[in-house]
Structures are given as C-alpha cells and as structure tokens.
Amino acid sequence: MSARPRHEPERAAADLAVVLVDWYRENGRDLAFRRSADPYAVLVSEAMAQQTQAERAAAYWERFMTRFPTIDALAQATPADVLREWQGLGYDRRALALWRAARTIRDEYDGRVPDSIDELERLPGVGPYTARAVAAIAFGQGVGAVDVNVRRVLGRVIGGTTGIRDAATRAAADAGASAIDPATWTHAVMDLGATVCRPRDPRCDVCPARPFCRYPLDEPHATVVRATPMPPFPTTSRWLRGRILDRLREARAEDWVALDGPIGGHTLERVHAATEALASEGMVEIGHRSASAIHARLALA
C-alpha cells in the first residue's frame, strides 16, 4: 500500500524537523529527565512538566525518581509520601493522579507502562498531550505531542499566525515526529518554542526555520497572549489549598494538625471549606472537627 500523500502543512513540518536536528544538537537544553527513555521515568517527567517550566521540573524529577525509582515503589507509597515529595512543584492534584496511575499500571498492566495511546489516556491524569509524549519519547512512535509551545511553533512556521486548526496541528506534529527520531522531535520543537519561538519577542533572527517560516517579522508581538501561567495570588483558592498542604507536610505523617484560624486573607470558614475539598479529592484525611477547628493530615491511604 502506498503512503498517504502529505499536505503542505505536513511537508513543512517535515522540513522543520530536518533543520531542528542540527539545531537541537547545538542548542538543546540539558535536562536530567532527557537522559532516560524508561517509560515510567518519562511518565513522571511529563506529569511534572504540566504547567511547570521544564528546568524546574527537571530538578524535582531527579529527587522524585530517587525516592520512587519504580512503578512499584510509587504504587506502594501513601498519598502523604507522594505529596511530601511533590512539595514546591504546585498543582498537587498532579501528584495524586500520578500515584493513582502507578497503582493502575501495577494492578492492570503488570507494572509496565502501556504503549498504546488509547490505554495511556485511560490512566489517571494522562491527557492527549502526555499520552503522545510518552508514546514518542519512551516507545519511539511517530506521533507528535501538541502543547501550547508546539501549537505556537507550527502555527507560525506553517500558517504565519499563532495557531492553526487542531487537526492540522496534530497532523503536522505527527509528520515532524515521523521525519526524525520521535523523541528528538519532541524535545527539539519544545525547546524551539521555549527559547526561540517565544510567545513574546520571538528571536526570529536565530531561528533555524526562518528561511521558510511564514510568520511575518513585523507582527505586533506585544499582543501575543502570555503562555506561562502566573503564580497564584494569595486571594485565590489555589493559594489557600497550597498553604494548607504545606502546613500538613510540616507535621509528622501520623500527626493531626489543627486548622483553627484564618490563613492569609482567608477566613476560618474558607479554610475549612478548602480542607473539606482536599479531603474529597483524597489528598488529606480529616479527624476531629468542630465549628472552631478541623484536625487534618495528609492522606495515608
């Protein structure tokens, strides 16, 4: 059977892949998690890199992998163990989802990360991007993982704008991954988006795709939407949840911590409501409670 003919966006992505190889060898970021193609290690790194800068995730990844070097080690841990090791990364739901994914892999896949995108997407906390990234990096499948960086790079190079249709973006990303080693494509296009083809002030003068990129140099770059999420403000629920978890992390695993006063600008009522929400998500356990205090600790099961 003859290969399906490539449309222009896919051809452009394949051309981009060719020039990215040499560029990445010279300019790629030396991130710790890129030194391993072990599926579990890749899964952990991709979970950490969600909504977190890659350099920051890499530092936490080394510590986390030392503490939980295998699927079984993570699956046997308690939520409290995992949440303590996750401290500082933020978005703590990711930690609990990764722990649940490890248990699913242990119980349903005999401890081996599945290589099917469909099966990967069924794991807790794993969406289309993460599933495709694991498939490409760990299993060498010619599929492109599309996040905000990849969408921006391909949109500018192929369409001359900050985005193209999702279907076209994914087809182009797949073509790029198929043109070179899928792991190299995944890392290289991410680095290009993070360091050169930036949301604001893109460095078009040093971009390897400049000779065939359709993005106009006189584009009003200042109007491009900021891609990096801002830290949570003290008035937000996310900030409050983080402070509650930090207090519980400071205590010994078995000790109950009394939450009996405001935290920051949040009233006692809001502190208790946030604690109840964390308990409903399986992150914390609640012991004695009254109108004036809730005693809580990180979940032990």
Q: Which residues are catalytic?
A: 46
Spatial distance between the Cα atoms of 169 and 155, rounded to a whole number of angstroms: 7
Contact, 120 vs 162, CB < 8 A?
A: no
Spatial distance between the Cα atoms of 263 and 89, rounded to a whole number of angstroms: 20
**E strands, the chain, where?**
257-259, 284-289, 294-298
Contact, 144 vs 185, CB < 8 A?
A: yes
Backbone φ and ψ for 234, nearest 5 degrees, come out as: -60, -15
Beta bridge partners of 259: 294
CA angle 227, 228, 234 (to 5 degrees): 130
Helices 54-67, 79-86: axis angle to 10 degrees equals 140
Spatial distance between the Cα atoms of 64 and 86, rounded to a whole number of angstroms: 8
Token digits for 63?
Answer: 């510590």
Terminal-to-terminal C-alpha distance of the chain:
53
